Chain A
Amino acid sequence: DTGVSQDPRHKITKRGQNVTFRCDPISEHNRLYWYRQTLGQGPEFLTYFQNEAQLEKSRLLSDRFSAERPKGSFSTLEIQRTEQGDSAMYLCASSPTGVEKLFFGSGTQLSVL
């Protein structure tokens, strides 16, 4: 069990550029979650998957954000035309179905200049 892995750990980009983050969940965890966290705040729910199906998206997730989990394993979160307000820590979590706890990765810290 290597835990939830997120790549990259840090990303610096210029406003207007597109960025993509990757999350590798724990093996055989079929539920995968994305969260965003800004300084001093708790993590904010963005979206989650059951296998390859995206079951829920937060209304806070603008059209510039898209997440995929094409084979029910790893997931990607893409932000198009980044804005300074997108600067945050992006966290991924996974869990097996029917298990109460979520396992979080260490996150990707995005800075938009």
Chain B
Amino acid sequence: DAKTTQPNSMESNEEEPVHLPCNHSTISGTDYIHWYRQLPSQGPEYVIHGLTSNVNNRMASLAIAEDRKSSTLILHRATLRDAAVYYCILRKTSYDKVIFGPGTSLSVIP
């Protein structure tokens, strides 16, 4: 299975943009890039996913490198409620199970 690598932790100031990186150098052509986040004492929550093109939704943007070996989750304006663990995941189809790594713990500083 293709693996992802993320920094263990990151900090951001409130109301500033946050760029969360993910490396997936062994990604295959059929792997989708998914992001979930987990707030304290809650289950994970879907954020966004994409294949090749950049994606935007109300929660975040996903920027995918041209060679697809890395991607970046962008939170345009961090709030205290965005403090969570963010997981970058590769998944081939909606029929595949979702395999989580340790993720990036994001702290937001007021």
Contacts and interface: CB of A to CB of B under 8 A. Distances in A.
Interface of A: 4, 33, 35, 40-45, 48, 56, 91, 93, 95, 97-107
Given A42-B102, A42-B103, A106-B41, A101 B46 contact: yes
Given A42-B102, A43-B100, A95-B94, A100 B34 contact: yes
Contact of A45 (B87, B94, B98, B103): B98
A52 B36 CA distance: 26
Nearest to B89: A42
Interface residues of B, number: 21
Contact of A104 (B44, B101, B102): B44
Interface of B: 32, 34, 36, 41-46, 49, 85, 87, 91, 94, 97-103
B100 A102 contact: no
Main secondary structure of the interface of A (DSSP, over half): loop
Contact of A93 (B43, B87, B91, B99): B43
Contacts of B43: 4, 91, 93, 104-107
B99 A45 contact: yes
A100 B32 contact: yes
Contacts of B44: 43, 91, 93, 102, 104
Nearest to B102: A42
A98 B49 CA distance: 14
Q: Quick one: which of B32, B41, B49, B97 has the most chain A CB within 10 A?
A: B97
